[in-house]
Amino acid sequence: MSDVVLKDRRGRDLLKTGALQNAILSSTGFASIATDEKGVIQIFNAGAKRMLGYTGAEVVNKLTPADFSDPAQLIERARALSLEFATPVAADFEALVFKAARDIEDQYELTCIRKDGSRLAAAVFVTALHDPKGLIAGYLLIAIDNSARNTKPAVEKPESALNPRAAGGAAPCRLLYVDDHPESIALVEQLLARRGDVVLLCAADVKRGIELARAERPEVVLMNIDLPGISAPKLMQLLRADPATRDTPILALSANAASDAITKALEAGFFHYLTKPMKAEPLMEALGDALEFAALERAEQNDLPSRAAHSH
């Protein structure tokens, strides 16, 4: 525990509860930051110092994790949470721990602002810490440096740059993801890496997304329908009018979690409706359903010539 800075009784009490005994490690490979219930930093380990460039004395009892978080991302996250939970969420520390405060497991991508002003992309995992009475005593944020992955531009990736064959020699399925947020694209990349049988094509706007869908004919399209340029119903009309994309399952992604918005999107023809901030389990479940549907559709299309031949 020599790498952990404890400035006062509140920090020591957090350790005495046992909530951090197994969570805080001495490794410098990731940042461990513990706060009190108001978000003020109480513990700042060696990994946090390395990643963010601050000393413990500069942050403990002085700053909250929101103080070195990208303000624009805080605003976006607060807006998405406000829509998802139908309650106002402040674009400050509350946005970072809103779900954890309700005992909901939470992880997300966040750009951190280092002491020298440089930016670092991190994968953040948040947990609420409870005292013996079950009340929230603080929060633990574990951050992993994700900058190497997120330095890739959020632009389309030509198929030639991707692994052309999946394990076992079978041609992999393709997912076209249309979004302009690097953090979301990085998350989808991480999730697809677990499968190994799906390659990712990306487009940063709706126009290019439609062009890629027509040219590449991916098995599934995941589209952020909040992007400017076209409404969701109009988008579906265009895709369904084109033989190249007529039967492609389209997954809608939106920060709007209102029931009427979901109903309208599904009625317009979207295969599934996913809400931001993106969650791994619903995304992978929707992708699995869409890939299964696409496989059945293509098998049926391939079987049509055979049926026609036998009918004569």
Per domain, the residue ranges of the chain are: 9-147, 159-307
Q: Which one is the CATH code of 9-147: 3.40.50.800, 3.20.20.150, 3.30.450.20, 3.30.70.20?
A: 3.30.450.20
Just give the CATH number of 159-307: 3.40.50.2300
Q: Is the pLDDT confidence value at 157 over 70?
A: no
Q: Is the pLDDT confidence value at 160 over 70?
A: no
- Residue 302's pLDDT is 62
Question: What secondary structure does DSSP assign to 99-155, as a single string?
Answer: TGGGT--EEEEEEEE-TTS-EEEEEEEEEEEE-TTS-EEEEEEEEEE-HHHHTS-SS
The stretch 58-66 carries a mean pLDDT of 95
- As a whole number of Å, the CA-based R_g of the chain is 23
Q: Given strand 173-178, what is the order of strands in its sheet?
A: 198-203, 173-178, 220-224, 250-254, 272-275
- Residue 31's pLDDT is 86
Copy the structure tokens of residue 256. Answer: 């709007």
> What is the length of the chain?
312
Q: Which of 82, 278, 262, 79 is nearest to 185 (CA)?
A: 278
Copy the structure tokens of residue 174. Answer: 């393709």
Q: Which of 264, 256, 250 is nearest to 220 (CA)?
A: 250
Q: Which of 303, 233, 282, 300 is nearest to 261 (CA)?
A: 233
The phi and psi torsions of 137 (rounded to 5 degrees) equal -100, -15
| Across 64-68, 111-115, 264-268, least confident range | 264-268
- Residue 295's pLDDT is 85
Contact residues for 16 (Cβ-Cβ < 8 A; gap 6+): none
CA distance 281 to 286: 9
- Residue 312's pLDDT is 52
The stretch 218-230 carries a mean pLDDT of 88
- pTM tops 0.85, yes or no: no
Q: Is the pLDDT confidence value at 163 over 60?
A: no
pLDDT in tens, 246-283: 889 999 998 888 888 888 888 888 889 998 877 788 88
Q: Which of 260, 310, 286, 15 is nearest to 140 (CA)?
A: 15
